[in-house]
Structure formats: structure tokens, C-alpha cells
Amino acid sequence: MTASAAAREPAPVAIRAPRRWGWRAGLGLGLAAVGLVLLSPLVGSVAIPPQTVAQIVLHQLSGGALAQQPCAGSSASPTLCSAYVEIVWNERLPVLLLALLAGSALGISGAALQGVFRNPLADPYLLGLSSGGALGAAFLYVFQVGETEASIALPILAFGGSLATGIAILVASRGKAGSVETLLLTGVALASFLSASLSIVLLYNPIGSLQVSFWLLGGVGGATWNRDGIAFGGILIASTLLVLHGRELNVMQLGNDVAQSIGVPASAVRQRLILLASFATAMAVAFTGVIGFVGLVAPHIVRRTVSSDYRVVLPLSAVAGGMFLLAANDLAVSVVPNTQLPVGIFTSFAGAPFFLTLLYRHRRSTMTGET
Amino acid sequence: MTDAPSSPATSEILPVRLRGVSVRYDHRVALHEVDLTVSPGEFVVLAGPNGSGKTTLLRVILGFLPVAEGVAELFGSRLDDLAVRERARLVAWVPQDEAVRDDPSVAEYVRYGRYPYRGRFETESAEDLRQVRGALEELDLADRAHDGLLSLSGGERQRAVLARALAQATPLLLLDEPTSHLDIGHQLDILERVRLLSRRRGTAVLAALHDLNLAARFADRVVILSRGRKYDDGPPRDVLSEELLARVWGVSADLRRDPRSGVPYLLPHHRLVEPAAVRSAPGFGPVHVVGGGGAAAPILRWLVDRGYRATTGALHLLDTDAETAQLLGLPMAVELPFAPLGEEVRAAHRVLLGHAQAIVVAPFAIGPSNLANLTDLEPYAGQVPVYLFNPTPIESRDFASGEGRRGWEKLRSGGAQELGSWAALEAALHGLEAGRRLPSRPSPPAATPT
């Protein structure tokens, strides 16, 4: 602003958001995230030298132009080297990417749902969107289709399941008892009903109990580049659309009536956001099964550390969710040697205490007016 | 530059125009054929008892409730024809209490008001910033702009809500009990600011208010709603009356005028009367209270509360008892201040005494100027029940050198009954009503009415 403008204008009010942890903490978290992504390809039952991993990635990304000898500098034999390439490029990287994608989808869905329901306890898992998606996907195993058909049918069926759950929640919201609390409780009831249904479908399918535990506890182990591609497309679309609703969600925190008086068509936005969150959740669930608590934890980390402005919370929840799931998966792979545990175990181990803390904090803060 | 929203073209069109608007919740009629207009720059207050339809009416104008019958227009456009965003540029809303959950800064919150002016992919314009800044400064929140909304006091928070509505830069502002959670200082502050805004920006204001005195003070026009219908509509001085309060609110009150401003204000003096205690039986005459110096006032109020007709005398003008009787609208005999009771006044007093069904002698201080109050009673002592109400002994309030005490004794020997408590008085009057004279029975100590 020029000096003359400053003289004419009334005392300028600089407008900024309230401070949280500050840029140092933000930078720290950012570096941790980058480090996590960089180190994750090293994690696994086979120990591969970091330099080799880096060279393999470089080699593959550049189409062989760079790092023409991926295993140069190590003592790996050509056979071992090709095994390394297979492991890093066709297993670890797709898994890493799927963890990031599914985590971000769950994180952003959680943020959107928490905003829509104006309740910090909302989450695609607790509301039954995940179970609904998983139930939809599980029908695939009942019908036994081929691998190619499955990669297309799976997300569609999962989407159908999540969507049906989302619609059921929305229908509940249209009735007389459409309070936020009723909606949440409806979701919670639906979630347990759907989990039970999912268990039945999976128990009586020909694939057996291994698949059952995969779907119920979740995991990113089934990742392939193809699946990642489909997930990436769907999640990118849903997330982009969700991120565009930051301002609406901010205003909707004031209540639907006030939001409407400010010009936000609150019920339309609510419907749209629930559908988008269902879609994003479905994309994750279709490939990972039911992974709990990511959507709960991620938005909270963002709110606590950066801002409660939904224009920030939505995209950063995607990032935080991705990181959370990736970290949980790294643990799932490395805690017990030579065994891959379902990642859902770890997110639940971290998430359930988190949930309880929040619940009690939330109850206290309704008295003091803090979030 | 501040009157941008009310260009000459729009100022010809009424901000609010309702014709025969009816609204139903399920099958219950919440509003019935209400007509209402609000002109640019006008401050209109909606008043009425709880459940009379004030909030419903506001919600209709905000487009939250569908109109079952009638026509509702906002600046010449049918409400149904306006998109949510268009409407938000015409009318802003300050609700009773707004749920603030997350913790945006005050400035951030006020910026929400600019929502209807920005497209999804537009950045904040200079006009947006100017309006936000203007609203913050107008409401003295500039120095709190970066504080969290939840750190504000109740008064500041309501100012922030007003600032948010202001940033919407609408030519119409709706307020629903904007001051109900605030103390009197902040109530006046908020309404004063709203009125100033409406003057300065030409903003039309429609506010639901419970407090009729605030309404009278700030409103250009008061619209009274009663059971979903419009009961009255006009300037406060024409609309507010004792009759209105009695009819619409079931409250008896006195209408006064602020001597400085001429603004009417109402002094309610209604308290709940137990139905069983209402003495409406025909043939039961008034109870006369002899008093002075404030001794009769509690008895008069007590009697009126219980539904008795009451008279009083002989009092001096400006005396507390006389003022109370005047406020309660009771017939009385009054003498000029400090003068001995004159012959005319005593005659008038005797007329009242003659009509009384019972006479209560209040524990008043007896001096030479009002000694006649006791002596004039003597002929009645044998004819109607005379109750000497003496929670304080006569000796302590005889300032007529023993004459008071002698008069008291005379009454007692003439058949007057001494009563020491409110409960005893109540029992005596009850007995009287039932057509029998009860001997003063021992009664439990009762709480004296205030």
C-alpha cells in the first residue's frame, strides 16, 4: 500500500488467522512428512540398501535413462537385483502410493464430514461409510469375477455401498429428527449394522477367512500400479471438489440457518459434501478394506497445529491422513519380522485412544466453549 | 459511499412487503394472514408474547419457511424467486444466539459476511476488505480483530455478530431478540448502534424484541403479534397502551412517558393471581384500608393481588400510600401534603368507609394531622368488621401524645378485632367472604408478601 493510500484509508486492519503452533512446527511436520515418504520404500521384510532403492526408483521413473545400473555400488547379483527391482517398484512403491491415496481420501472425507456434521467425532469409519463401501465391495467375492473385471467392478461396488450409506444418513437428516446428534447416531448404528452384514457376507464366501480379516481390518498390501491409478483418479476428483467447499464449510459452522442467511445453500451443500465424502471413502475402501480412525485423527492434527479454517483443514487433512496411514503401514510391515499385519490394527491402536481423549475433551469444552 | 446498497431505484421499492401471509407448521397455524411492510431506513420492532409468531415471521422473510398462503416480497421480488445468494445480498440476519464452534478470529468471522459477493474462484476484492474493515470499525472491534471469537465477552460477541451482518452490506437487517442475553448496558448499546446504522446507511431494520420499553425507545414503528395474527401496527406512542398489555400479554401495567423524550414506557405491576383467590363474587364490596406514610401500601398491594377491590384514605398527597393507591387505580380520599385532614376530605373518606365491606386499619404512625382517621372510624366499628392490623404495637407509633393510643383502644372496645399477622388477616377476610365471622384463630406464621 502506498503512503498516500495509507493516509486516506482508515486505520488498516490487517487480517490474519489466529496463531497455532507457528511456522517452526509446520516446517517440522512438513520435513517429517517428506522424510516419511522418502524412508518408507526402505521398510519391508527384505533389507535393501538405501542407495539401491534410490537408484531403482530413479531408474524406473526415468524409463531407464538415469541410473542405468540400479544395483551398482552394491554386491547384489543380477538375479537379486531384479528381485530388488520387483520388490521396490512393483510392491513397495504401489503400497506407499496406495497408503498415501487411501489415507488422504479418508482424511479429507473425515474433515468434510466433521464440518458438515459440526461435530469433531464424525468420521467415515464411525459413520458407516467405510463399512458400507466394504459391504458393497465384498459382494464382488460372492459373484466371483475375474481379475480385470474386479479392478473395475470393485470401486463401483464400493462406491455403491458407501453411497447407499451416505444416502441413508441423508434421508435421516431430512426427517423431523434431523439434528446433528441424530445424524451421527444414525451413522453409528448403521456402521455396526453394516459391519455385521459384512461379516456374514465374508464368512459365507468362497475366499475364506484371510479375505475376511483383510476387509475388516484393512490393508494396503494388495496395491498394484493399476489399482493405484484408479484410486488416484477417483480420489483426485473427489478431493478437488471437496477442497472447493472450504468457505461453505466455514460458514456452515455457524449453523445451517445462519449459513443460509449468509448465502450458503446449506442443505444442498450438505448433501453434496456427504456424497463426495462417500465417493472418496469408497475409493479408499475398494482397495484397502475398512481402515478406521484415519478420518478422525487427520483433521484434528491439522486443526490443532495449523488452523481450523476449512480452506486449510480440507487439503491438509488429506496430507495428514496420507502420512498417518503410511506411518501406520510402515509399522504394520516392520513390527513383526517377515509378517505383514493389517494396517487397520495400527490405525485403531492409535485412533481409539485419540477418539476417547477427544470425546472427553469435547464434553468438557462444551461447558467452557472451546473446541 | 456508505449508502451504496440503497440506490434511489431500490429505495422506491419496499424492503419487506407481506400481504396476507399464512404459515403452518404441520397443521398448526403459526401465522395467519399477516400484512407487513418495512420502508427503507425504518426501524420496525416486532413484539408479542412467546409463541405469537415473531420468529416465524422473521424466518419467512429469511426464506427458511415456506409461505402457505399470501405474497411475500423482498425489494419487489417474490421471496421464492430469489436464490439463496441473491437473498443474502438483500437481507442479513442477527439471530438470538449464534453457535460459534471452531475458533475463527473476529476479522475472519466478519469476512464470512462477504460470502454472497464472491464467486468460488474469485479472490477477496478491495470492496470486500473495505466492508469488513468498515464493519469492524463501526462496531469498535478493530483492536480485537485478531482475537478468537470465543475470547470475546457476551456484548462484544453480539457486536461481532452485528459486524458480520453489516459486512453483508444489505439494505435490510433482521434481528431476532438480539439483546436477550445481554445486560441492560449492552442492550442499549447494541440497539443504539443498530438505530445509528439504519439512520446512516438507510438500512431498513426489522427486529423482534421482548422488551417493550426498548421497543418504544428505538422503534419508528411497533408491530404487535398475538397468536399468529397482527394485532396492531403503528408508532410506539399510538400502539403501546395499558390495554394492549392487558389484552395481548395478560399483564396489567401503567403507561408513563419519559419526561425528557416523551417516549412511552410501561410499568408492569401484575403478579400471578391464584384463580381460587380471585374475589369476583358479586356482592362482596371493597375492603377499605386506613393508612398513611406507607403503612397501607403493602396491604393494598396484598389485597389487589388477591383480587379484592380496595379503597383507602384519608391520605396526604405525595405520601407513599397515596402514590401506591394511585398506581393501583384505587379510589381514595386525599388531603394536601402536611395539612390536617380537612372537612371535605373527611367527608369523602366517610363515603368510602360507608361502602366498605370490611375496614383494615394499617399500622400507620399517628400524629395530630391524621388523628381524625382513627376517630372517624368509631361509628363503623360496630357495623362492619374493623381489623386493627398491628404487627407493631400502637405505643411505638403514637406521635399524638397518647391520643392515638386512646383512639385505638376505643375502636377495640367498640368491636374492632386486632390481627397480628398477614395470615390472620387472610383468614379473617376469608371467613368474611364465606359469610361468617371467624374468631381470630391461631395461625401459623405466614410469609409476609413483599
**Interchain CB distance below 8 Å, A370 and B89:** no
**Interchain CB distance below 8 Å, B103 and A308:** yes
B53-62 average pLDDT score: 92
What does the block give as the cell for B275?
A: 384463580
Residues in chain A, total: 371
AA identity, residue B306: R
Residue B103, chain A, CB below 8 Å: the answer is yes
What does the block give as the cell for B419?
A: 390481627
Cβ pair B162, A39 in contact under 8 A: no
Does residue A369 carry a pLDDT above 60?
no
| Phi and psi torsions of A28, nearest 5° | -60, -45
Across A138-152, B1-15, B263-277, B407-421, least confident range:
B1-15
Residue B116, chain A, CB below 8 Å: the answer is yes
Interface mutation target, options A1, A13, A241, chain B, most CBs of B under 10 Å: A13
Residue B133, chain A, CB below 8 Å: the answer is yes
Q: Could you tell me the residue ranges of all domains in chain A?
A: 96-362
A302-356 tens-digit pLDDT:
887 788 889 999 999 999 999 999 999 998 888 887 777 888 888 888 888 887 8
- Count Cβ atoms below 10 Å from residue B29 Cβ, excluding itself: 15
Share of chain B above pLDDT 70, in %: 89
A198-214 average pLDDT score: 67
**Interchain CB distance below 8 Å, B146 and A257:** no
Confidence at residue A147, expressed as pLDDT on a 0 to 100 scale? 60
CATH of domain A96-362: 1.10.3470.10
Across A154-163, B104-113, B244-253, least confident range:
B244-253
As a whole number of angstroms, the distance between CA A349 and CA B300 comes to 74
B327-368 tens-digit pLDDT:
787 888 888 877 788 888 888 888 888 888 889 999 888 888
Residue B132, chain A, CB below 8 Å: the answer is yes
Q: What is the mean pLDDT of chain A?
A: 80
* Matching residue, cell 482397495: A287
Ordered by where they begin, the domains of chain B are 8-239 (3.40.50.300), 275-433 (3.40.50.450)
Confidence at residue B182, expressed as pLDDT on a 0 to 100 scale? 82
B398-412 average pLDDT score: 85
Half-sphere exposure of residue B450, counting CA atoms within 13 Å on the CB side?
Answer: 2
A142-148 average pLDDT score: 64
B270-287 average pLDDT score: 53
- List the Cα angle A151/A156/A158 in 5-degree steps: 95
Does residue B425 carry a pLDDT above 80?
yes
Confidence at residue B440, expressed as pLDDT on a 0 to 100 scale? 41
User: Please, which pLDDT band fits residue A207 given cuts at 50, 70 and 90?
Assistant: low
ipTM associated with this complex: 0.77
Does residue B278 carry a pLDDT above 50?
no
Residue B97, chain A, CB below 8 Å: the answer is no
Q: How close A257 gets to chain B, by Cα (Å)? A: 7
**Interchain CB distance below 8 Å, A261 and B91:** yes
Does residue B371 carry a pLDDT above 50?
yes
Does residue B276 carry a pLDDT above 80?
no
Most confident of A18-27, A36-45, B64-73, B283-292: B64-73
Does residue A15 carry a pLDDT above 60?
no
Closest residue to B112, CB basis, from A10, A251, A265: A251
A33-39 average pLDDT score: 89
User: B362 or B276: which carries more pLDDT confidence?
Assistant: B362
Burial B149-183 (b: 16+ CB within 10 A, else e): bbebeebbbbbbbbbbbbbbbbbbbbbbbbbeebe
Q: What is the largest CA-CA distance in chain B?
A: 97
Confidence at residue B274, expressed as pLDDT on a 0 to 100 scale? 41
B133-162 average pLDDT score: 88
User: B167 or A42: which carries more pLDDT confidence?
Assistant: B167
Residue B41, chain A, CB below 8 Å: the answer is no
Cβ pair B251, B276 in contact under 8 A: no
Confidence at residue A150, expressed as pLDDT on a 0 to 100 scale? 65
Across A129-138, A139-148, B323-332, least confident range:
A139-148
Q: What is the mean pLDDT of chain B?
A: 83
**Interchain CB distance below 8 Å, A13 and B107:** yes
> Which value, to the nearest 10 degrees, does the dihedral of the CA atoms of residues A304, A309, A313, A314 take?
160
A87-133 tens-digit pLDDT:
888 888 999 999 999 999 999 999 999 998 888 878 888 888 888 88
AA identity, residue A81: C
Does residue B4 carry a pLDDT above 60?
no
Confidence at residue B398, expressed as pLDDT on a 0 to 100 scale? 83
Does residue A3 carry a pLDDT above 50?
no
Closest residue to A118, CB basis, from B64, B101, B111: B101
Confidence at residue B5, expressed as pLDDT on a 0 to 100 scale? 44
Does residue A208 carry a pLDDT above 60?
no
User: Please, which pLDDT band fits residue B450 given cuts at 50, 70 and 90?
Assistant: very low
Confidence at residue A169, expressed as pLDDT on a 0 to 100 scale? 81
Confidence at residue A146, expressed as pLDDT on a 0 to 100 scale? 63
Does residue B100 carry a pLDDT above 70?
no
Most confident of A218-222, A261-265, B307-311: A261-265
User: Please, which pLDDT band fits residue A362 given cuts at 50, 70 and 90?
Assistant: low
**Interchain CB distance below 8 Å, A13 and B147:** no
Does residue A16 carry a pLDDT above 80?
no
Among A359, A283, A356, which residue's Cα sits nearest to residue A321?
A283
What does the block give as the cell for A154?
A: 470393485
User: Please, which pLDDT band fits residue B3 given cuts at 50, 70 and 90?
Assistant: very low
Confidence at residue A19, expressed as pLDDT on a 0 to 100 scale? 47
Q: How close B59 gets to chain A, by Cα (Å)? A: 9
pTM: 0.72
Contacts of A13 (CB under 8 A, 6+ apart): B107, B132, B133, B136, B137, B142, B145
A74-86 average pLDDT score: 84
Does residue B447 carry a pLDDT above 80?
no
CA B17 to each of CA B14, B53, B55, B56, B306: distance values in angstroms, whole numbers, following the listed order: 6, 17, 17, 15, 46
Does residue A66 carry a pLDDT above 90?
no
Does residue B412 carry a pLDDT above 80?
yes
Chain A hits for B92, Cβ within 8 Å: 261-262
